[in-house]
Structure 1
């Protein structure tokens, strides 16, 4: 089997990142030390398509809440269960906070599943108006200054650390590292807790079912392999990702990514 190598800089769900980086700049930044228990990273997207056609960037969901600061679109977004798209036009900047899985629960203090598939105002949870965030962040041209503003905002609202956040990140890292893990039962055995307890924790802290997270990472891995030139037939890719049935793999791929693997390859080409 000829297998493509994935670069050390992972796409983290940004579909066809090699092509996208011709249109925009994506950088990721560490938050203040005290925030790293809750926040995976900050991300900044900048683009200048002045005089050029608009560009649609597709993004796979991930098991994380994001705070997105964008002109007239600022909000806190729960997990999307399907692929979503962002249209880039003209010139612009977006600043994002990607919370760790479960990392937003201590700020929210209610089940994160309430946010799944939708957004909510920053005023409702963090007590700061969207326009205030846009005015204080998007007028800055230096990423270090933007990071400083967001650090200060979140540090003022810093909750107590919750040990379940650590547990859930360990479980999700385990899912990500082990392609052979295909069932919630396997995860419950690793966690040494019942399936029902596991489902309750994921609903409360992450916002989605653990089965969905298992499926997501397998398909994210599939898309990333295809983006970087995976050359073997689709049945071999399905088998490598732990699917015994090729049609099952194709159905799952289409359910989240919106098209079949063959269509995805054609569009990427």
Structure 2
């Protein structure tokens, strides 16, 4: 599993949060499952901000099922009262089953009528007398079983899209779309087509998102490392380019972000 808080800007303000691995038989459809649980005091709101992974999420709550598309900017969720969510970070191969064109879901959500899935997850999460860890495991098992039944197999092209997304997300040496195309032994045109069809974002955006997530996490975890060094480490030409990415996606500078997390502003 990757860092539990990668992509989450202010982990200190999180409610109870867990990431659970997908079972091996579902590895081609789901990167991991994530489950926040919260109990916010009456009259208060907890805003969770994140640099979302460049992917779609299928999310179940007590009263609805939502498909969240890929984002191009800082996203947030306002939590109130008491509740939970069980989400699946979908691999590209799973996306066409839920969305004809993922680009249509960019920076958007769509409510889905999937009562069987919702009922199974709600029953698992709210089973009386079940310990919290078992509830979460049961919810993931129910979610995974439903997905495996609905999507028994995917075409080779979809698996290639998975390989593309995994390569870009995990390999820091991929700094240009040509790097990814060369390692996958495909043309840049094919790479761009796969990204648009299965992710809804261009390969260059996927690369920049990985770099920004990593740079933000490093900025938060290493307050004594200067920002110019962080910029170089994560493939930026210089600190100004890092600051431009921060400003464009998050609306703040790296220095402002660092001060906010070190000062307990969230």
Please indicate the TM-score interval, normalised by the length of the shorter structure.
0.7 to 0.9
The reply to whether residue 192 of structure 1 matches residue 185 of structure 2 is: yes
Where 1:74 maps in the other structure, the secondary structure is strand
Of 223, 248, 252, 1:255 maps to 248
Match of 1:85 in 2: 76
State the 1:92 CA deviation.
1.5
State the 1:90 CA deviation.
2.7
Give the root-mean-square deviation of aligned CA atoms: 2.7
Of 29, 39, 47, 2:30 maps to 39
Distance 1:176 1:35, change over 3 A: closer
The whole-number CA distance in structure 2 between the counterparts of 1:53 and 1:79 is 28
Contact 1:106 1:160 in 2 (8 A): no
Match of 1:3 in 2: none
- Structure 1: stretches of 5+ with no match in the other structure: 1-6
Match of 2:103 in 1: 113
1:216-231 maps to which residues of 2 (within 5 A)? 216-231=209-224
The reply to whether residue 16 of structure 1 matches residue 16 of structure 2 is: no
The whole-number CA distance in structure 2 between the counterparts of 1:178 and 1:131 is 35
1:58-137 maps to which residues of 2 (within 5 A)? 58-72=49-63, 74-100=65-91, 102-108=92-98, 110-123=100-113, 127-128=114-115, 136=123
Where 2:93 maps in the other structure, the secondary structure is coil
* TM-score (norm: length of structure 2): 0.84
Deviation string 1:149-171 (CA, Å, 9 cap, x unpaired) is 32342233124223233323333
Distance 1:133 1:15, change over 3 A: farther
Match of 1:4 in 2: none
Count of residue pairs brought into register by the alignment:
256
- Structure 2: stretches of 5+ with no match in the other structure: none
Q: Which has the higher contact order (CA 8 A, sep 6+)?
A: 1
Deviation string 1:200-226 (CA, Å, 9 cap, x unpaired) is 110001111000000000000011111
State the 1:55 CA deviation.
2.1
The whole-number CA distance in structure 2 between the counterparts of 1:107 and 1:159 is 11
Match of 2:18 in 1: 27
State the 1:67 CA deviation.
0.9
The whole-number CA distance in structure 2 between the counterparts of 1:171 and 1:114 is 21
